[in-house]
Amino acid sequence: MPKEKKGVLLEHISKIYEDPKSKKQFYAVHDLSLDIKPGSFVTLLGPSGCGKTTTLRMIGGFESPDEGDIYLGNKPINSLPPNKRDTAMVFQSYALLPHYNVFDNVAYGLKIRKLPREEIRKKVFAMLDLVQLRGMEDRMTNQLSGGQQQRVALARALVVEPSVLLFDEPLSNLDAKLRVSMRTEIRRIQQAVGITAIYVTHDQAEAMAISDQIIIMNKGVVAQIGTPTEIYYQPKNEFVADFIGEVNFLDGKIIKKDTSNILTEVYGVKIPVKTGEGQVGDDVRLVLRPECLHLKDDGDLKGKVVVSTFMGAYQLYHVMVNDTVVKITEYNPKGKKIYNIDDAVALDFSSTDVHIIPKENSELKTDFIVPVKTKKGFNLFKK
């Protein structure tokens, strides 16, 4: 498509909602700043209620931010209604027009733009080719499978050649298998068109598979922004580490630090770490992925097996290390030594597989919601 690619810039965006029961106002999204590069595929990931859909709807124009500005390219779009924004959304429920057939659904946006008939036909058919629905243009939408409906929704959004494509949990209504193939499909089409895409999901595997960049949100604020690898191996905080994949935390303290190495102490054992931040003397948590851990007969970090289960692809262990249960997944266990319950073991891992995050006290962690109480209160947050 000949159209110029545009990025999206969010500057200190906040959205305030009122709790319908207590009438208290709170931030659904708080002080969110994002710079989405032209042509990139960005995912907003987080548990339900984290503000990801609200953020997407603010970019689409369905909600208005209570603080901050949104730019599309270099143009501020805060005051534009959805129909005048250069964005197109693919909805969770597909939102196909049930009284139109596939062709008319895809053509809807073009008809509103009053394009000549011939051009509409050409564009719609080209788009149906792209989403592999050619030949189904006369079907009514309720005669299509979920995956096909999803393709129509995608085609309908793409055909108006928006600068930015917005996805609101588009795959959540599909079954597991179809979800996997559709997300590959969405990625393929996004790459083929070269469009900027912002994608909302609560499914971490989906986010990992599809995105150039993931924005993890929790309770209205950004928990971390990074590539899938960064987010998986170098989480910035406990929430991110815990939300993405399985994880073990071990409490420790930084005892030495130089340019490339950090030395921590856990249960009296010195463990070198490559990544993570902190100063000497800080309490930290070591992040260890279960698949990075192995068992050996003897070593520094000792423990006792409490669970040992054969899972097919791997042997699952739970090992009690002091007062912490550590999960270990030993892949391809055939031919390896299998430990049994009550066996004394030691943990085996390389220092590149350990990452540290600051230890948060629990009060601070749960208080991501910023309640807005009085009108005076707003001013405190204004820059």
Partner 1 sequence: MTASLQGKMLDRKKFFQDPFLIFAIFFLIIFFTLFIAYPLVILLKDGFATSTKAFSFESFAYTFSVYSGFLKAMGNSVIIGLAVSAGATVVGLLFAYVDTYVKLKTKVLKILFNIVSFLPVVSPPFVISISLILLFGDTGFITHDLLHILNAQHAFYGFPGIISVEIITFFPVAYLMLKGLLKNIDPSLEEAARDMGASRWKVFTTVTFPLLLPGLGNAFLVTFVESVADFANPMIIGGSMETMATCIYNQLMGSNGPDAQFQAAAMSCILLLISMSIFIVQKYVLERKTFSTLTGKASRQRMLISDKSVTIPLSIICGLISLFVIGLYVLVIMCSFWKNLVNFDFTWKHYQVIFSDNGMSAFGPTLTMSAIAAPITAILSMIIAYLIVKKKFKGKAAIEFVSMLAMAVPGTILGVGFIRGYVQGIFHTGILQQLYNTMWIIIIVFVVRSLPIGVRSGVSALRQIDQSIEESAYDLGGNSLHVFSTVTLPLISDSFFSSLVTSFVRSITAISAVIMLVTPSLQLVTCQINEYAGKGDYSTATAYATILILIASLAVGIMNLAMRLIGRKTKIKEE
Does residue number 48 form part of the binding site for partner 1 (CB under 8 A)?
no
Q: Considering CB under 8 A, how many residues would be counted as binding partner 1?
A: 47
Does residue number 23 form part of the binding site for partner 1 (CB under 8 A)?
no
Q: Is 115:122 a contact under the CB 8 Å cutoff?
A: no
Does residue number 261 form part of the binding site for partner 1 (CB under 8 A)?
no
Does residue number 95 form part of the binding site for partner 1 (CB under 8 A)?
yes
Does residue number 369 form part of the binding site for partner 1 (CB under 8 A)?
no
Does residue number 76 form part of the binding site for partner 1 (CB under 8 A)?
no
How far is Cα 205 from Cα 78, in angstroms, rounded to an integer?
32
Kindly tell me which residue out of 7, 46, 51, 65 binds partner 1, with binding defined by CB under 8 A: 65
Kindly tell me which residue out of 16, 269, 346, 369 binds partner 1, with binding defined by CB under 8 A: 16
Buried b or exposed e, range 142-160, using 16+ CB within 10 angstroms? eebeebbbbbbbbbbbbbb
Nearer Cβ to partner 1 (128/295): 128
DSSP-derived 3-state class of residue 13: strand
Residue 35 CB neighbours (<10 A): 12
Kindly tell me which residue out of 3, 19, 112, 309 binds partner 1, with binding defined by CB under 8 A: 112
Q: Is 239:253 a contact under the CB 8 Å cutoff?
A: no
Residue 166, amino acid: L
Does residue number 88 form part of the binding site for partner 1 (CB under 8 A)?
yes
Cα 248 to Cα 18, 190, 229, 357: the distances in Å are 37, 35, 18, 12
Min CB(381)–partner 1 separation in Å: 7
Cα angle 297, 319, 364 (rounded to 5 degrees) comes to 135
Nearer Cβ to partner 1 (22/332): 22
Binding-site string for partner 1 from residue 136 to residue 165, where x marks contact by CB under 8 A and - marks none: ----x-xx---------x--xx--x-----
Does residue number 9 form part of the binding site for partner 1 (CB under 8 A)?
no
Nearer Cβ to partner 1 (162/252): 162
| Residue whose C-alpha is closest to residue 3's, from 41, 44, 45, 38 | 38
Q: Is 297:346 a contact under the CB 8 Å cutoff?
A: yes
Q: Is 381:67 a contact under the CB 8 Å cutoff?
A: yes
Tokens coding 78? 């805060």
Does residue number 383 form part of the binding site for partner 1 (CB under 8 A)?
no
Q: Is 8:85 a contact under the CB 8 Å cutoff?
A: no
Biggest alpha carbon–alpha carbon distance for the chain: 77
Does residue number 20 form part of the binding site for partner 1 (CB under 8 A)?
no
How far is Cα 62 from Cα 65, in angstroms, rounded to an integer?
10
Nearer Cβ to partner 1 (124/293): 124
Kindly tell me which residue out of 64, 227, 279, 322 binds partner 1, with binding defined by CB under 8 A: 64
Min CB(150)–partner 1 separation in Å: 13
Does residue number 320 form part of the binding site for partner 1 (CB under 8 A)?
no
Min CB(4)–partner 1 separation in Å: 19
Alpha-helical segments (H) within 41-80: 52-60
> Which residues bind to partner 1, rule: CB under 8 A?
14-16, 25, 60-67, 78-84, 87-89, 91-93, 95-99, 108-109, 112-113, 140, 142-143, 153, 156-157, 160, 372, 375, 378-379, 381-382
